[in-house]
């Protein structure tokens, strides 16, 4: 590693934790809307219970200690501080892999993947499948925040990742991502096709189908694909509001989510409920509530909920802009919640592996870590 990469350790001052506990105790709760259910947003009753646990049962110091078990670093790239977790495998022939999270996630998403990916021998796997793992925080997210200037679209992030991997001494590597990471990882293949051996995503690498589809196009799809089209249409009607706000008024949103921990938690939990699977099950019954709160803490302690919203959805290159095919072998594992459709993904990507799964949701690394790990291993087995 070069001298540009500096060791980093999370050490949150106690006064920040005391301030958080005080804010939680003084929350000004809204009156519950009629029904107090998920149809109008996060239910007050459910969020109150989660906040009570956050204040009196959740242990940030334990979470901080777990995060600090993994080597972490910071480096400046293109004027922006980038925080990363970098864990080298004990296996001498391990293959480098960069993992990219999304919104409303963080590097916390991948904690349960680090051991199985870097040391498969210790987890009952084949040591030949070992990876050196690099997990950078997206610019503006967590300890990679706040952003110092505009323009951090997926192309600029991908170029920063290529520089990061170069600084780490990795000249050939793989890429995996979900959500925003499922856009950054294919773009990394486009900006560095001679270095990226393969791209693996969960949810599909895009693009989305051009809606509305004709009756003839719909008839040519499978039942699973037609269901995904229906859920995309429902999303555009019922859930697009958060994208509209974050991509047009992120600064206005930032005041509430940066000043109020409960406001921030509610904003994040709305999506964890909508995008985990099965949807009727409460999100903290699918993803461990300590993990949900640790993810929220990364945003809160760094004051980056606003900059993360800005980077995540204020993409200067625009939504839906067509992208060239890099030729890099690309794989997708599409869990039950997600809506990737192979024929549309093939317009911009060289799809060599596509797996549809009838379980799991959008947060694959948190919901289905074993299935995701197995698919990553199998895809890269012939690309090392």
Average pLDDT over residues 349-374: 98
Average pLDDT over residues 12-24: 98
Average pLDDT over residues 273-278: 97
Instruction: Count the domains in the chain.
Output: 2
Which structural domain, as residue segments, surrounds residue 230? 210-238
CA within 13 Å, CB half, 322: 8
Peptide bond into 278 cis (omega under 30): yes
Average pLDDT over residues 267-273: 97
Model pLDDT for residues 217-262, shown as the tens digit of each residue:
999 999 999 999 999 999 998 888 898 899 889 999 999 999 999 9
**Residue 1: predicted pLDDT:** 46
Q: What are the C-alpha distances in Å from 41 to residues 45, 310, 339?
A: 12, 22, 22
Report whether pLDDT(154) > 90.
yes
Q: Is 139 helix (H, G, I), strand (E, B) or coil?
A: coil
Model pLDDT for residues 194-205, shown as the tens digit of each residue:
999 999 999 999
pTM over 0.85: yes
**Residue 181: predicted pLDDT:** 97
13 Cβ partners below 8 Å, 6+ apart?
A: none
- Which of 219, 238, 257 represents a domain boundary (last residue)? 238
Task: State whether 181 and 268 are in the same domain.
Answer: yes
**Residue 314: predicted pLDDT:** 65
Is residue 369 domain-resident? yes
Q: What are the C-alpha distances in Å from 382 to residues 204, 353, 378?
A: 21, 12, 8
Is residue 318 domain-resident? yes
Model pLDDT for residues 169-178, shown as the tens digit of each residue:
999 999 999 9
Task: State whether 194 and 248 are in the same domain.
Answer: yes
Task: State whether 115 and 198 are in the same domain.
Answer: yes
Task: State whether 24 and 93 are in the same domain.
Answer: yes
Task: State whether 69 and 216 are in the same domain.
Answer: no
- 364: confidence class by pLDDT, cuts 50, 70, 90: very high
């Amino acid at each position: 590693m070069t001298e540009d990469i500096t060791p980093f350790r999370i050490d949150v001052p106690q006064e920040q934790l005391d301030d958080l506990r005080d804010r939680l105790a003084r929350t000004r709760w809204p009156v519950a809307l009629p029904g107090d259910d998920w149809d109008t947003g996060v239910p007050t009753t459910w969020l109150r219970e989660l906040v009570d646990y956050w204040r009196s049962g959740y242990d940030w110091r334990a979470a901080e200690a777990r995060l600090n078990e993994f080597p972490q670093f910071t480096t400046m790239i293109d004027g922006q501080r980038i925080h990363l977790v970098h864990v080298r495998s004990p296996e001498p022939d391990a293959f480098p892999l960069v993992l990219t999270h999304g919104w409303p996630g963080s590097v916390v998403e991948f904690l349960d993947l680090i051991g199985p990916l870097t040391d498969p021998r210790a987890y009952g796997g084949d040591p030949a499948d070992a990876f050196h793992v690099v997990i950078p925080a997206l610019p503006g997210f967590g300890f990679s925040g706040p952003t110092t200037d505009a323009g951090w679209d997926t192309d600029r992030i991908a170029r920063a990742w290529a520089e990061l991997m170069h600084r780490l001494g990795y000249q050939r590597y793989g890429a995996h991502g979900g959500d925003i990471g499922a856009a950054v990882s294919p773009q990394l293949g486009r900006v560095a096709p001679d270095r990226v051996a393969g791209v693996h995503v969960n949810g599909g690498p895009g693009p989305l189908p051009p809606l509305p589809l004709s009756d003839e196009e719909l008839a040519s799809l499978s039942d699973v694909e037609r269901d995904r089209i229906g859920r995309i249409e429902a999303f555009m009607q019922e859930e697009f509001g958060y994208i509209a706000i974050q991509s047009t008024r992120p600064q206005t949103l930032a005041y509430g989510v940066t000043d109020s921990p409960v406001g921030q938690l509610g904003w994040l939990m709305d999506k964890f409920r909508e995008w985990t699977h099965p949807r009727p099950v409460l999100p903290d019954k699918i993803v461990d509530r300590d993990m949900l709160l640790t993810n929220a803490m990364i945003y809160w302690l760094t004051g980056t909920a606003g900059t993360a919203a800005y980077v995540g959805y204020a993409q200067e290159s625009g939504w839906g802009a067509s992208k060239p095919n890099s030729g890099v072998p690309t794989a997708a594992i599409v869990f039950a919640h997600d809506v990737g459709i192979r024929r549309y993904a093939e317009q911009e990507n060289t799809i060599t592996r596509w797996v549809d799964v009838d379980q799991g949701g959008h947060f694959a690394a948190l919901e289905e870590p074993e299935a995701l790990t197995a698919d990553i291993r199998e895809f890269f087995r012939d690309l090392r």
